[in-house]
């Protein structure tokens, strides 16, 4: 299966999570990583399964590398019908009301443009010292398995 891991980051942690996900998936899948700021929104391959990994900054806002992506999607409004994706929102639960909200801005816009979210909405809390080190990899493996099951059943 071809999988594109797309990350939005301010201070680099989501890039590390994206690399961890790619390493976990590589044995079985053709997985590549792209920074959201480098995505041409008019050339998104809707046949790839997309894993979106995105943090939150400010007060529930997008991180720096997700802003141009979100702005270009909002302006160009490509038809993303057929695109299937999953989201791992990264944040810090001590921000309470805005916990992981940055990723939700991306999720909402992708759905508005016709894409379909698959599997469980992942959340990674930077303030949770008890969280497993490989939370992102575990989330990706179970998400891809859920997607596989959907495709097989179709």
Lay out the site mask for ligand FMN across 61-100 (x = CB under 6 A, - = otherwise). --x--------------------------xxx--x--xxx
By C-alpha distance, which of 77, 28, 32 is closest to 51? Answer: 32
Identified binder of ligand FMN from the candidate list 3, 39, 55, 88, rule CB under 6 A? 55
Identified binder of ligand FMN from the candidate list 1, 11, 23, 28, rule CB under 6 A? 11
SS3 content of the chain, % helix, strand, coil (to 5): 45, 25, 30
Residue 26 CB coordination number (10 Å) = 12
CB neighbour class for 5 (10 Å; exposed up to 12, middle 13-18, buried from 19): buried
Q: Which lies closer to ligand FMN via its Cβ, residue 84 or residue 100?
A: 100
For residue 35, state whether it binds ligand FMN (rule: CB under 6 A): no
Q: How many residues bind ligand FMN (CB under 6 A)?
A: 22
Residues between 122 and 141 with contacts to ligand FMN, criterion CB under 6 A = 126
By C-alpha distance, which of 53, 63, 56, 65 is closest to 25? Answer: 53
Site residues for ligand FMN per CB under 6 A: 9-14, 55-60, 63, 90-92, 95, 98-101, 126
């Amino acid at each position: 299966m071809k999988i594109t891991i797309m990350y939005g980051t301010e201070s680099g942690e989501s890039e590390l999570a994206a690399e961890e996900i790619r390493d976990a998936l590589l044995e079985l899948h053709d997985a590549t990583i792209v920074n959201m700021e480098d995505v041409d929104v008019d050339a998104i391959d809707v046949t790839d399964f997309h894993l979106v990994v995105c943090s939150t900054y400010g007060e529930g806002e997008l991180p720096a590398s997700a802003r141009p992506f979100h702005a270009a999607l909002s302006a160009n409004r490509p038809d993303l019908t057929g695109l299937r994706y999953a989201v791992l929102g990264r944040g810090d639960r001590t921000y309470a009301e805005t916990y992981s909200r940055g990723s939700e801005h991306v999720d909402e816009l992708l759905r508005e443009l016709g894409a379909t979210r698959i599997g469980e909405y992942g959340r990674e809390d930077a303030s949770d010292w008890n969280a497993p080190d490989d939370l992102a990899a575990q989330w990706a493996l179970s998400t891809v398995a859920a997607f596989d099951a959907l495709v097989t059943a179709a």
